[in-house]
């Protein structure tokens, strides 16, 4: 992952005189590394940036005072892919921060996984922020789950959005748009399962049959 502590973890176009809305820190209470909401604080300094303030851990809710110093952040082009679209943004990072393919970046409205890094005109597995030309990421807080739904004389494809760790159960009934689907089996990246569960991020396709609602007269 990019550095454990950074004053500018999110996509932003803010001025350096304003304190960030969140910091990526390792929590001293629960040990989790992730976003901490800034309750109050200020930035100062010219060559280096100094942050002093109060933060709240998003994982356990603990509150603490922090004082951090780092080099003035630089802005790096960021191409964010999600829902078959790509949007150009930018992200601020400390110059010596290391970014690697496969690591996670925290954006303003979610998180994303790094899929490609361009440094000095070529693609590399990792690089210091100061040497990066652009970063490509894919949103990782939501994934598409594909369904093949048997509707009697035909089979149709459907997709639903889910959190990566959301579980789908064989023999369960899932709402897919306006339809209700009984799951028969699930194909994952490693196997096909006929009982049990699989998480959204490992599912290749779910196979099921439409559930016909019975009405009484």
- For residue 153, tell me if it sits in a domain: yes
**Average pLDDT of span 152-156:** 90
Does one domain contain both 130 and 150? no
**Average pLDDT estimate for 31-57:** 85
Q: Does a structural domain hold residue 60?
A: yes
Q: Which of 47, 71, 95 is the last residue of a domain?
A: 71
What's the whole-number mean pLDDT along residues 53-67? 92
Query: Domain boundary residue among 11, 46, 71?
Result: 71
Burial of 148-166, coded b for 16+ CB within 10 Å and e otherwise, reads ebeeeeeeeebebebeeeb
Asked if residue 9 has pLDDT above 50, the reply is: no
Number of domains composing the chain: 3
pTM over 0.75: no
Give the domain range for residue 106: 74-139
- Residue 68 has a pLDDT of 84
61 closest CA partner among 98, 97, 36 = 36
pLDDT in the model for residue 7:
42
Model confidence at 127, in pLDDT bands (50, 70, 90)?
very high
pLDDT at residue 8 greater than cutoff 70: no
Q: Is 215 part of any domain?
A: no
Is the same domain home to 130 and 167? Answer: no
Domain presence at residue 10: no
158 within a domain of the structure (yes/no): yes
CA distance 141 to 103: 13
Asked if residue 163 and residue 202 are part of one domain, the reply reads: yes
Q: Are residues 121 and 147 in the same domain?
A: no
pLDDT tens readout for residues 69-81: 877 788 999 999 8
Does residue 152 belong to any structural domain of this protein? Answer: yes
Spatial distance between the Cα atoms of 103 and 89, rounded to a whole number of angstroms: 18
- List the structure tokens of 125: 């597995």
Residue 195 placed within a domain: yes
Statement to judge: residues 148 and 203 lie in one domain: yes
Q: In this structure, what token pair is assigned to residue 207?
A: 């196979």
Residue 12 belongs to some domain of the structure: no
For 105, phi then psi, to 5°, come to -115, 140
Band (184; pLDDT cuts 50, 70, 90): very high
């Amino acid at each position: 992952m990019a550095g454990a502590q950074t004053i500018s973890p999110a996509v932003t176009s803010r001025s350096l005189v304003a304190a960030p809305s969140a910091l990526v820190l390792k929590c001293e209470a629960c040990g989790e590394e992730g976003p901490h909401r800034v309750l109050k604080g200020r930035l100062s300094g010219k060559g280096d940036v100094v942050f002093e303030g109060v933060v709240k851990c998003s994982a356990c809710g603990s509150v603490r005072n922090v004082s951090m110093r780092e080099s003035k952040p630089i802005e790096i082009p960021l191409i964010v892919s999600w829902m078959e679209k790509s949007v150009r943004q930018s992200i601020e990072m400390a110059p010596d921060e290391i970014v690697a393919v496969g690591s996670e970046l925290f954006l303003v409205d979610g998180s994303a996984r790094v899929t490609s890094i361009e440094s000095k005109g070529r693609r590399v597995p990792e690089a210091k922020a100061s040497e990066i030309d652009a970063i490509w990421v894919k949103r990782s807080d939501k994934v598409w789950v594909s369904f093949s739904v048997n509707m009697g004389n035909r089979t149709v494809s459907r997709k639903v959005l889910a959190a990566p760790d959301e579980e789908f159960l064989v023999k369960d009934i899932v709402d897919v748009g306006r339809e209700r689907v009984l799951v028969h089996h699930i194909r994952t990246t490693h196997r096909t399962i006929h009982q049990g569960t699989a998480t959204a991020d490992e599912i290749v396709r779910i196979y099921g049959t439409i559930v016909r609602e019975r009405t009484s007269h």
